[in-house]
Chains A and B, each alone.
Chain A
Amino acid sequence: MSATTAAVLEIAALVAALAVSTPLLGRYLAHVYTSQRHLKVERAAYRLMRVDPDADQHWRSYAMSVLGFSMVGLLILYAVARLQPHLPQSLGFPGFDPAGAWNTAVSFVANTNWQWYSGESAAGYLLQASGLAVQNFVSAAVGMAVAAAFARGLARSRSGGRLGNFWSDLVRGTVRVLLPIAVIGALVLLAGGAIENWHAFHSVTTLTGGHQTITGGPVASQESIKLLGTNGGGFYNANSAHPFENPNAFTNLVQIFLILVIPFAMAWAFGLIVKDKRQGGAILATMAVLATAAVGFLTWAEMSTNGTATRLAGAAMEGKEARFGEAGSALFGAATTLTSTGAVNSMHESFTAPGGGIAMFDMMLGEIAPGGVGSGLYGMLMLAIVTVFLCGLMVGRTPEYLGKKIGQREIVLVALYIVTTPALVLTGAAVAVTASAGLAGLSVGGPHGLSEALYAVTSAANNNGSAFAGITSGTPFWNTLLGLLMLFGRFLPIVFVLALAGRFAAARHQPAGAGTLPTHRPLFVTLLTGVALVVVGLTYVPALALGPIAESLS
Chain B
Amino acid sequence: VSDFVYLALTLLSFAGLALLVGILGSRLDPDPDPEPDPDSTDRAAGREDDHLPAGVRQ
Contacts and interface: CB of A to CB of B under 8 A. Distances in A.
Interface stretch (A175-183, A212-220, A491-499, A531-539): A491-499
A126 interface: no
B2 to A, nearest CB: 6
A507 B32 contact: yes
A71 B1 contact: no
Question: Which size class do B's interface residues fall under?
Answer: 20 to 34
Interface stretch (A97-105, A187-195, A243-251): A97-105
Nearest to A487: B13
A502 B29 CA distance: 9
A495 B10 contact: no
Contacts of B18: 64, 67
B17 A67 contact: yes
Given A67-B14, A71-B14, A74-B10, A98 B21 contact: no
Interface string A37-75: 000000000000000000000011001100100110011
B37 interface: no
Nearest to A101: B6
Nearest to A82: B3
B31 interface: yes
A484 B13 CA distance: 9
B32 A491 contact: no
A63 B21 contact: yes
Given A98-B3, A98-B6, A60 B21 contact: yes
Contacts of A78: 6, 10
A89 B32 CA distance: 54
A60 B28 CA distance: 11
Contacts, number: 70
Contacts of B3: 82, 98
Interface in B1-44: 1-3, 5-7, 9-11, 13-14, 17-18, 20-22, 24-25, 27-29, 31-33
B6 A102 contact: yes
Contact of A488 (B7, B10, B13): B13
Contact of A492 (B6, B17, B29, B31): B17
A410 B33 CA distance: 12
Nearest to B22: A60
B13 A60 contact: no
Contacts of B13: 484, 487-488
A59 B22 CA distance: 11
A484 B20 CA distance: 16
A522 interface: no
Contacts of B9: 102, 480, 484
A488 B32 CA distance: 28
A161 B2 CA distance: 42
B28 to A, nearest CB: 6
A275 interface: no
Nearest to A60: B25
A495 B1 contact: no
B49 to A, nearest CB: 29
B6 A161 contact: no
Nearest to B11: A71
A495 B24 contact: yes
Contact of B28 (A71, A74, A491, A499): A499
A418 to B, nearest CB: 16
A31 interface: no
A161 B33 contact: no
Nearest to A500: B28
Interface string A465-501: 0000000000010001000100110011001100100
B5 to A, nearest CB: 7
A158 interface: yes
A409 B32 contact: yes
6 contacts: A67-B17, A67-B21, A71-B11, A480-B9, A487-B13, A499-B24
Interface of A: 59-60, 63-64, 67, 70-71, 74-75, 78, 82, 98-99, 101-102, 158, 161, 405, 407, 409-410, 413, 476, 480, 484, 487-488, 491-492, 495-496, 499, 502-503, 506-508
Interface of B: 1-3, 5-7, 9-11, 13-14, 17-18, 20-22, 24-25, 27-29, 31-33
5 smallest beta-carbon distances between A and B, as pairs: A507-B33, A102-B6, A71-B14, A60-B25, A508-B33
